[in-house]
Structure 1
């Protein structure tokens, strides 16, 4: 078994699988390394009764379940450029609607084994028998976990995947929205930012700063958080198949704008903002190919 070839062929899809299970890019980084370490240690016990890919998914899923029994990683966005150009099975693994922040936020509410069953069946299209074997349970129990998970998602999104899927590609309206969002921050103009918001807009700030729903509540949070003109610089990027912005802040007395937040945006159907998910993750900027500072 050539482990260099294994890593090359399966690293990215296993990374995305761990990300779905855990909701955290950095946790996925740690876990995919753990997957190959466990695989290396167990290489002599692999008897080829399943494909190498199935064997690695078993290791990855169990590694994530082990972590979720102890703690819940903090949510983080996923760089779009790492989702591109995957043929074959990996193309399924990075499907647009099942990497969106809305979908990820919902499945993080599921108990870990339900989450695993849903991802394996409805995202990766595994059979009930394959899921049961991976989870070391019966087909009946695996199907029961899947049905409970589907019921939870159906209650949240009666229309199905269409409710959480991002648009296929940014159009002119979305690009204009992004430009106005950046300009409002760089001018420190909260009124211009509030003008972009849908009436039922949602704002979340991670880790664990807060969540606000409705234009009035979100406007109050934005007014409080915006600083003087010149304190912000923004760069457009993309995450989880959604438009995103990297926010840099220049502190008083500093000459450089430092990495501060990544904001993932959910455009509404009328050229407005339906949701903003803001993550204070300066350490994640290199994974997005972003510069370490701006002058």
Structure 2
């Protein structure tokens, strides 16, 4: 590693925990890095549950490798290195964690394993690059998944976290030249996957929802609760991109066709027309947690989470996640 330094407070506390061989003391020092590491694993894997598991794996590996830490690199750097390689090992063993061809004709691919990331689990410091909105939104997470795993790791370490090339090379056991080449290729792919989106990850980034976004998600919930199909249709752009995960098939459709499809599928029909909604945020994007009460149920149960991308006051992209029966994202299971 290249950030040679005298041990600071965090590193000194960690070295003391290592010398004590006390797991509880070790956990106390490393736990403060959990949220940063979990976001990092999520960017690598695009799946919230996998990110939780790999963060825990990172801490287990760190415990077993604790004697190798000498304090000549920042503790955070050392943990990121372990987390990155744990994710790469995971991806090496899983053939279901790469984009698959889209179900519909034409170019495109799907991420059936994509999951949203709850904002309440993001690191608390809004100035950290790890929580910049532009690098946690679903479109960015999906774009990054189209990079081969090691190229993905290089891109995240260099362009998102801002690591120098030598530091990233040390973490991945690559040459600086290999890292530079991988980054150039990764930037081309990400630029192709995010046309028209902001691609400068190092300048000041946004964090808060706009008034348009807050208003749109409120109107989206209100339309559900009133079964106002015309109002719902008016919120959608005519070139809406819609996906309902984990079902395959992202489609670009008109507002009318989207609503007609939901109705023909049984939604907003008798027995599936008693809705309640809760405004939330995931991936620093506006989202609606939708609850449905069926005739045989005494309460509204969590049904789906709809993540919205708002453009000029209208819903341009709607990514729905099946949440039925899941204790998901810290949301109440019923209302």
TM, length-normalised to structure 2? 0.79
SS of 1:19's equivalent in the other structure is helix
Counterparts of 1:261 and 1:163, CA distance in 2: 32
Gaps of 5+ in 1: none
Gaps of 5+ in 2: 1-13, 18-25, 98-112
1:36-60 residue CA offsets vs partner (Å, 9 max, x unmatched): 0011011122233422211111110
- Structure 2 residue 90 is matched with structure 1 residue 67: yes
- Structure 2 residue 254 is matched with structure 1 residue 211: no
Contact 1:202 1:218 in 2 (8 A): no
1:179-209 residue CA offsets vs partner (Å, 9 max, x unmatched): 2211222233333222211121111111134
1:41 pairs, out of 64, 67, 75, with: 64
- Provide the residue aligned with 1:292 in structure 2: 333
- Structure 2 residue 322 is matched with structure 1 residue 280: yes
SS of 1:287's equivalent in the other structure is coil
Worse-superposed segment, 240-249 or 45-54: 45-54
Q: Counterparts in 2 of 1:1-295, with a 5 A limit?
A: 1=14, 2=17, 3-71=26-94, 72=96, 74-83=113-122, 85-86=124-125, 91-159=128-196, 161=198, 168-215=207-254, 217-225=257-265, 226-228=267-269, 230-269=273-312, 271-282=313-324, 285-288=327-330, 290-294=331-335
Contact 2:137 2:284 in 1 (8 A): yes
Per the alignment, do residues 238 and 160 of structure 1 end up closer, same or farther by CA in structure 2, a change over 3 Å counting?
closer
Following superposition, the deviation at residue 155 of structure 1 comes to: 2.1
Contact 1:190 1:223 in 2 (8 A): no
Aligned-pair Cα RMSD in Å:
2.4
1:150-203 residue CA offsets vs partner (Å, 9 max, x unmatched): 001122335552699996533443333222211222233333222211121111
Contact 1:99 1:241 in 2 (8 A): yes
TM, length-normalised to structure 1? 0.89
Counterparts of 1:168 and 1:57, CA distance in 2: 23
Following superposition, the deviation at residue 63 of structure 1 comes to: 0.9
Count of aligned pairs between the two proteins: 290
Worse-superposed segment, 278-287 or 183-192: 278-287
Counterparts of 2:222 and 2:146, CA distance in 1: 35
Following superposition, the deviation at residue 231 of structure 1 comes to: 2.8
Structure with larger Rg: 2
Higher fraction of helix: 1
